[in-house]
Amino acid sequence: MFPKILFGQGSNGIVTGEKHLIHSEIIGEEIEYRVHLPVNYEKSTTSYPVLYMTDGGEHFFLASGTTGFMSSQFVIPEMIVVAIFHKDRKHDLTPTHCIATNDGFESDGLKVSGGGEKFLQFIEKELIVRIERDYRTAPYRILSGHSLGGLFAVYAYLGRNELFDAFIAMDPALNWDHHLCERILKDSDYPSPVLTSKLYVSSAHNAPYGKRDRSPFRLSQDSFFKALESKQVGNIKHDYFEDQNHMTVPYQSLYAGLSFIFPGFYILDDPQLVLEVPFVQEFYKKQSSLYGIEFIPPERLMEMLGKYFLYDVNDYNQSKVFFEFNTVHYPSSYSAFEYLGRAHMALGDTAAAVMDFRKALELKR
Predicted confidence (pLDDT) per residue in 67-114, tens digit: 999 999 999 999 999 999 999 999 999 999 988 666 666 777 788 899
Asked whether the predicted pLDDT for residue 1 surpasses 70, the reply is no
Residue 226 and residue 276 share a domain: no
Residue 7 included in any domain: no
Residue 2 included in any domain: no
**HSE, side-chain direction, 13 A CA sphere, residue 45:** 4
Quote the crossing angle between the two packed helices 350-364 and 334-347, to the nearest 10°: 160
Question: How far apart, in whole angstroms, are the C-alpha atoms of residue 98 and residue 103?
Answer: 12
Beta carbons within 8 Å of 122's beta carbon, 6+ residues apart: 24, 26, 27, 31
- How do beta strands 18-24 and 29-36 pair? antiparallel
Residue 90 and residue 189 share a domain: yes
Among 26-30, 37-41, 219-223, 342-346, which stretch is predicted with the lowest mean pLDDT? 37-41
pLDDT for 252-294, tens place per residue?
A: 999 999 999 999 999 999 999 999 999 999 999 999 999 999 9
Q: What are the φ and ψ backbone dihedral angles of 112, each rounded to 5 degrees?
A: -90, 0
Residue 330 and residue 297 share a domain: yes
Instruction: Report the candidate in 15, 9, 13 with the shortest Cα–Cα distance to residue 34.
Output: 15
Residue 9 included in any domain: no
Asked whether the predicted pLDDT for residue 329 surpasses 50, the reply is yes
What CATH number has the domain bearing residue 156? 3.40.50.1820
DSSP state of 313: S
The pTM (predicted TM-score) of the whole model is 0.92
What CATH number has the domain bearing residue 309? 1.25.40.10
Instruction: Report the candidate in 148, 147, 146, 168 with the shortest Cα–Cα distance to residue 157.
Output: 168
Angle in degrees, CA 18, 23, 29, rounded to 5? 115
Question: How far apart, in whole angstroms, are the C-alpha atoms of residue 46 and residue 167?
Answer: 23
- How do beta strands 80-84 and 48-53 pair? parallel
Supply the range of the domain harboring residue 280: 268-364
Residue 78 and residue 163 share a domain: yes
Residue after which a domain boundary falls, among 218, 246, 261: 261
Give the CA distances from residue 346 to residues 311, 321, 357, in Å, rounded to whole numbers and listed in that order: 10, 13, 14
Give the CA distances from residue 327 to residues 323, 343, 363, in Å, rounded to whole numbers and listed in that order: 7, 13, 12
pLDDT for 173-208, tens place per residue?
A: 999 999 999 999 998 765 555 899 999 999 999 999
What count of other Cβ atoms lies within 10 Å of the Cβ of residue 104?
A: 6
Residue 274 and residue 250 share a domain: no
Residue 242 and residue 333 share a domain: no
Residue 253 and residue 163 share a domain: yes
Residue after which a domain boundary falls, among 261, 295, 322: 261
Residue after which a domain boundary falls, among 261, 292, 309: 261
> For the sheet containing 29-36, what is the strand order?
18-24, 29-36, 80-84, 48-53, 137-146, 166-170, 198-204, 236-241
Residue 312 and residue 289 share a domain: yes
